Amino acid sequence: MKNIFRLALVATLFFFISACENTELDLLNNPNEVTPENAELDLLYNNVMLSFRNFVVNASGELQPYVRLIALGGGDIYRNADSPNSFDNEWSGAYAGVLPDLNLIISLAQESGQNVHGGSAKIMKAYVLFTLVDMFGDVPYSESGKGVEFPNPKVDPGADVYAAAIALLDEAIKDLQTQGARPTNDLFYGGDVVKWRKLANTLKLRAYLQTRLVNTNAKAQIDAIIASGEYISATADDFQFPYSSNRANPDSRHPNYAAGYETGGPAYQSNYFMWSMFGEKDVVDPRIRFYFYRQDGNINDEDFFTLDCRGAPKPPHFPEWMPHCTASEDGYWGRDHGNDDGIPPDNLKRTAWGVYPAGGKFDDDSFKGIGNSGTDGARGAGIQPIVLGAWVDFMRAEAALTLGTAGDPRALLEAAIRKHIAKVISFSKGLLSIPAAFEPTQANIDAYVTEVLRLYDEAPTNDAKLNIIIKEYHISLFTMGIDAYNTYRRTGKPANMQPMRDPNPGDFPRSMWYPSNFVNLNAAADQKELTKQVFWDTNPPGFIK
pLDDT at 124 over 70: yes
pLDDT at 74 over 90: no
Q: Which range among 133-142, 145-154, 353-362, 417-426 shows the weakest confidence by mean pLDDT? A: 145-154
The DSSP bridge pattern shows strands 292-293 and 239-242 to be unpaired
> Cα–chain-centroid distance for residue 452?
24
Of 373, 367, 330, give the one whose Cα is nearest residue 352. Answer: 367
Over residues 289-311, mean pLDDT: 87
The answer to whether residue 198 sits within a structural domain is no
Q: Which amino acid is at 469?
A: I
Over residues 187-210, mean pLDDT: 97
Same domain as 286, residue 374 = yes
Count helices and strands in the chain by DSSP H and E runs? 17, 4
Q: Which residues pair with 384 in a beta bridge?
A: 241
Contact call for residues 381 and 243 (beta carbons, < 8 A): yes
Over residues 133-139, mean pLDDT: 98
The DSSP bridge pattern shows strands 239-242 and 383-387 to be antiparallel
The set of residues, in sequence order, having a beta carbon less than 8 Å from that of 311 and lying 6+ positions away, is 304
Q: At which of 363, 382, 401 does a domain end?
A: 382
Q: What is the DSSP letter of 176?
A: T
pLDDT recorded at residue 309: 85
pLDDT at 297 over 70: yes
Q: At which of 382, 410, 435 does a domain end?
A: 382
Q: At which of 382, 399, 421 does a domain end?
A: 382
The answer to whether residue 360 sits within a structural domain is yes
Same domain as 257, residue 170 = no
- Domain that residue 317 falls in: 253-382
The set of residues, in sequence order, having a beta carbon less than 8 Å from that of 423 and lying 6+ positions away, is 235, 238, 388, 390
pLDDT at 143 over 70: yes
The answer to whether residue 142 sits within a structural domain is yes
Three-class secondary structure of residue 156 per DSSP: strand
How many separate domains does the chain show? 2
State the CATH number of the domain containing residue 51.
Answer: 1.25.40.390
The answer to whether residue 524 sits within a structural domain is no
Q: What percent of the chain has pLDDT over 70?
A: 93
Report the alpha-carbon distance of residue 408 to residue 420 in Å, rounded: 18
Q: Where are the alpha helices (DSSP H) in 234-309?
A: 255-260, 271-278, 288-291
Same domain as 116, residue 259 = no
The answer to whether residue 460 sits within a structural domain is no
> Cα–chain-centroid distance for residue 187?
18
What pTM was estimated for this model as a whole?
0.93
Contact call for residues 265 and 371 (beta carbons, < 8 A): yes
Q: Where are the alpha helices (DSSP H) in 265-372?
A: 271-278, 288-291
Same domain as 296, residue 174 = no
Report the alpha-carbon distance of residue 171 to residue 110 in Å, rounded: 12
Convert the pLDDT of each residue in 376-430 to its tens digit. 999 999 999 999 999 999 999 999 999 999 999 999 999 999 999 999 999 999 9
The answer to whether residue 161 sits within a structural domain is yes
The answer to whether residue 106 sits within a structural domain is yes
Convert the pLDDT of each residue in 34-64 to its tens digit. 455 445 899 999 999 999 999 999 999 999 9
The answer to whether residue 421 sits within a structural domain is no
Phi first, then psi, for residue 8 (nearest 5°) are -60, -25
pLDDT recorded at residue 39: 54
Contact call for residues 239 and 186 (beta carbons, < 8 A): no
Report the alpha-carbon distance of residue 339 to residue 307 in Å, rounded: 12
Same domain as 156, residue 257 = no
Over residues 249-257, mean pLDDT: 96
Same domain as 177, residue 261 = no
Over residues 509-526, mean pLDDT: 96
Report the alpha-carbon distance of residue 490 to residue 427 in Å, rounded: 30
Same domain as 294, residue 177 = no
Over residues 211-231, mean pLDDT: 98
